[in-house]
């Protein structure tokens, strides 16, 4: 006897093969039968005629570890059909934490939800604390190299001592034993940006020993994109581990088109036998913390040291001079301040949704002074959206056979605390946008290919053996959607909107979305590597 039978759907199984009409049976947490199940008895029968049934989507690049504590229902992701989120990306995870640098950790985090009290030290303690209250979807945790570095040596802008390096290696090795899947870097962000390639290789080896992946927000995504891709590949080669290049892009108009060259480097590395892949999100704007606009040395010593510099006119001038020479994130050189929008700034809500150029004009300030003022007023807590990408680069990336989908967003919700500001719409729209706009409407890839990039391919990337495909024995993470109707609704102006067309979502055999509504069920788990 099956617990659930889903009848009549076009099943796209996640392997990349085209869909076919068949039935799928679920017992407990797993898929128990696939085929003609018309004579099989089942506790619940769901007729999905005219709908697509696919494996639940795996968000290869998420930052939900900073949100799920206060948003266990994972609304904005689960309503896209996401059933597993890979978190701990861009060099920053909430653990491990050292007693010595716990305060630096707290001030560095942009948003700290209720429950996230940094009472843990190790990643194992962290994961157990998180798992206690349950969550709607599954979580795959990476360990941030920036977090490791912060725990070992704070915001020091120098190479680690041998003691600090072995502390990082030991914490990462312990984390791998306790449920982490790999290590991530954020090499444009202090303190990760203070590290050399040799340091990264040495630290990453501690994850390679446990067959972990190396996921990298690489050292440059504009002028230095190709060198940065080469560095990521070098880490994979020297540490003998798979490489995931996060949110591949060419940032800034002068560099548009370079995604093709970056993909060629990935192809060459793969031809050499290295396991290199990438992920991408379907938008022409990126988003990050506002302080990333500054040169990374401005963060030496942490956020309080940065704020002190911003109160010192001489230091502000140094920052300005460095940026004029191309230092820092060089947004002006890339796109101009009219292409930078404040997404979220709890202490300067007036700025949310507005361009830096507008804010500067209203305050009768030069744009960079307006940025300094915002950072001072907000104690450094603000994020921005940068309209600096080319859609053609996205299409190049998404059609590459080794590029998958990662939102770079977080689990948010349209009500309560999660609905603050004007965050990047990717947190609400990524997966339906790929399926609706890019697969169905613009036909840049087939529906089965698009589904594969959200299911089977990320599962293979992670060596996640029992998810990402519809087959007997796999875990019953499933999504039923209407391929004619599926679409994102979130925009940059109005981001807090759920997509349409996602009708049923099951996690570990239990409905979280039933007929388009959240059931409140929390069947997700912290996944452990095999």
The number of residues in the chain equals: 530
Least Cβ distance, residue 157 to Cu ion (angstroms): 22
Question: 30-35 and 42-47: which strand pairing?
Answer: unpaired
Least distance between Zn ion and beta carbon 287 (Å): 9
Nearest to 430 by CA among 457, 448, 456, 412: 412
Q: Which of residues 186 and 380 has its CB atom nearest to Cu ion in the complex? A: 186
Which residue in the set 104, 221, 296, 408 belongs to the binding site for Cu ion (CB under 5 A)? Answer: 408
Contacts of 421 (CB under 8 A, 6+ apart): 343, 344, 345, 346, 349, 352, 353, 383
Contact region with Cu ion (CB under 5 A), list: 88-96, 99-107, 415-423, 500-508: 88-96
For residue 90, state whether it binds Cu ion (rule: CB under 5 A). yes
d(CA 241, CA 230): 15
Which of 247, 195, 193, 185 is closest to 221 using CA atoms? 247
Mapping DSSP onto H, E and C, the string for 366-421 reads CHHHHHHHHHHHCCCCCEEEEECCCHHHHHHHHCCCCEEECCCECCCCCCHHHHCC
Q: How far is the CB of 246 from Zn ion (least distance, A)?
A: 5
Q: Of these partners, Zn ion, Cu ion, none, which one is at the site of residue 467 (CB under 5 to 8 Å by kind)?
A: none
Of the candidates 383, 351, 285, 301, the residue with the CA atom closest to the CA atom of residue 101:
301
Query: Would you say 172 and 142 are in contact if contact means Cβ atoms under 8 Å apart?
Result: no
Q: Which is nearer to Zn ion, 217 or 467 (CB)?
A: 217
Beta strand 42-47 with 243-245 is: unpaired
What token pair was written down for 114?
């209720």
Instruction: Establish if 221 lies at the interface with Cu ion (CB under 5 A).
Output: no
* Residue 164 site contact among Cu ion, Zn ion, none (CB < 5 to 8 Å, cut-off depends on kind): none
Q: How far is the CB of 88 from Cu ion (least distance, A)?
A: 10
Task: Select from Cu ion, Zn ion, none the partner in contact with residue 59, using the beta carbon and a kind-dependent cut-off of 5 to 8 Å.
Answer: none
With contact defined as beta carbons under 8 Å apart, do 143 and 104 qualify?
no
The distance of closest approach from Cβ of residue 110 to Cu ion in the complex, given in angstroms and rounded to an integer, is 12
**Which stretch in 85-93, 206-214, 224-232, 437-445 sits in contact with Zn ion by CB under 5 A?**
85-93
Only one residue has tokens 């990935």, namely 266
Using the 8-state DSSP alphabet, how is residue 173 labeled?
H
Residues 280-299, interacting with Cu ion (CB under 5 A)? none
Nearer to Cu ion, 182 or 501 (CB): 182
How many other CB atoms sit within 10 Å of the CB of residue 28? 11
Per CB under 5 A, does 217 bind Zn ion? yes
Candidates 90-98, 310-318, 418-426, 518-526 — which segment interacts with Cu ion by CB under 5 A? Answer: 90-98
Shortest approach of Zn ion to residue 50 CB, angstroms? 38
Please tell me the count of residues contacting Cu ion according to CB under 5 A. Answer: 3
Per-residue tokens: 344: 């979220």
**Distance between CA 99 and CA 86 in Å, rounded?**
26
Binding mask 90-129 for Zn ion (x = CB under 5 A): x---------------------------------------
Mask for 359-398, x = binds Cu ion (CB under 5 A): ----------------------------------------
Cis peptide before 25 (omega within 30 of 0): no
Q: Which is nearer to Zn ion, 67 or 79 (CB)?
A: 67
Shortest distance, position 527 Cβ to Zn ion, whole Å: 22
Q: What tokens were used for 347?
A: 């202490």
**Which of these segments, 45-53, 84-92, 433-441, 466-474, binds Zn ion (CB under 5 A)?**
84-92
Task: Considering the complex, state which of residue 217 and residue 258 has its C-beta at the smaller distance from Zn ion.
Answer: 217
* Window of 83-91, 267-275, 395-403, 484-492 that interacts with Cu ion by CB under 5 A: 83-91
| 89 lines the binding site for Cu ion (CB under 5 A) | yes
- Look at residues 224, 203, 199 and name the one whose alpha carbon lies nearest to residue 212: 203
The residue ranges that bind Zn ion (CB under 5 A) are 90, 217
The residue ranges that bind Cu ion (CB under 5 A) are 89-90, 408
């Amino acid at each position: 006897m099956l617990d659930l039978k889903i009848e009549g759907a076009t099943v796209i199984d996640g392997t990349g093969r085209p869909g076919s009409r068949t039935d799928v049976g679920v017992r407990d947490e797993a898929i128990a039968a696939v085929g003609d199940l018309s004579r099989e008895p089942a506790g619940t029968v769901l007729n999905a005629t005219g709908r697509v049934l696919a494996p639940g989507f795996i968000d290869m690049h998420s930052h939900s570890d900073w949100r799920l504590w206060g948003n266990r229902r994972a609304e904005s992701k689960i309503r896209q059909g996401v059933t597993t989120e890979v978190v701990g990306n861009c060099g920053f995870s909430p653990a491990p934490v050292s007693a010595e640098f716990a305060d630096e950790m707290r001030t560095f985090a942009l948003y700290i939800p209720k429950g996230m009290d940094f009472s843990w030290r190790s990643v194992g303690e962290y994961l157990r604390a998180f798992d206690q209250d349950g969550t709607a979807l599954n979580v795959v945790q990476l360990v941030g190299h920036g977090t490791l570095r912060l725990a070992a040596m704070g915001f020091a802008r120098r190479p680690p001592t041998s003691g600090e390096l072995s502390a990082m290696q030991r914490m990462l090795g312990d984390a791998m034993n306790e449920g982490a899947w790999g290590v991530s870097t954020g090499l444009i962000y202090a303190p990760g940006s203070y590290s050399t390639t040799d340091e990264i290789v040495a630290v990453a080896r501690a994850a390679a020993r446990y067959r972990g992946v190396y996921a990298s927000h690489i050292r440059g995504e504009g002028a230095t994109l190709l060198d940065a891709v080469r560095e990521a590949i070098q880490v994979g080669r020297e540490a003998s581990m798979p490489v995931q290049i996060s949110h591949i892009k060419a940032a800034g108009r002068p560099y548009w088109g370079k995604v093709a060259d970056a993909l060629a480097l990935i192809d060459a590395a793969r031809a050499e036998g290295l396991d290199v892949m990438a992920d991408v999100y379907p938008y022409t704007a990126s988003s990050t913390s506002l302080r990333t606009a500054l040169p990374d040395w401005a963060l030496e010593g942490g956020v309080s040291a940065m704020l002190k510099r911003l109160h010192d006119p001489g230091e502000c001038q140094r920052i300005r001079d460095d940026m004029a020479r191309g230092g820092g994130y060089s947004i002006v050189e890339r796109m101009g301040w009219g292409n930078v929008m404040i997404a979220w700034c709890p202490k300067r809500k007036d700025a949310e949704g507005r361009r830096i150029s507008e804010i500067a004009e209203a305050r009768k300030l030069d744009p960079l002074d307006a940025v300094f003022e915002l950072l001072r007023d907000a104690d450094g807590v603000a994020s921005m959206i940068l309209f600096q990408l080319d859609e053609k680069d996205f299409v190049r990336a998404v059609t590459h056979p080794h590029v998958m989908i990662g939102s770079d967003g977080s689990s948010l919700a349209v009500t309560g605390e999660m609905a603050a500001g004007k965050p990047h719409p990717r947190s609400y729209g990524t997966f339906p946008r790929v399926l609706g706009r890019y697969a169905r409407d613009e036909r840049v890839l087939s529906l089965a290919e698009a589904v594969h990039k959200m299911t089977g391919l990320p599962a293979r990337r992670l060596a996640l053996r029992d998810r990402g495909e519809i087959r007997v024995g796999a875990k019953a993470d499933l999504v039923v959607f209407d391929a004619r109707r599926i679409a994102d609704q979130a925009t940059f102006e109005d981001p807090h909107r759920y997509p349409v067309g996602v009708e049923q979502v099951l996690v570990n055999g239990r409905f979280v979305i039933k007929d388009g509504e959240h059931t409140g069920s929390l069947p997700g788990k912290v996944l452990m590597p095999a």
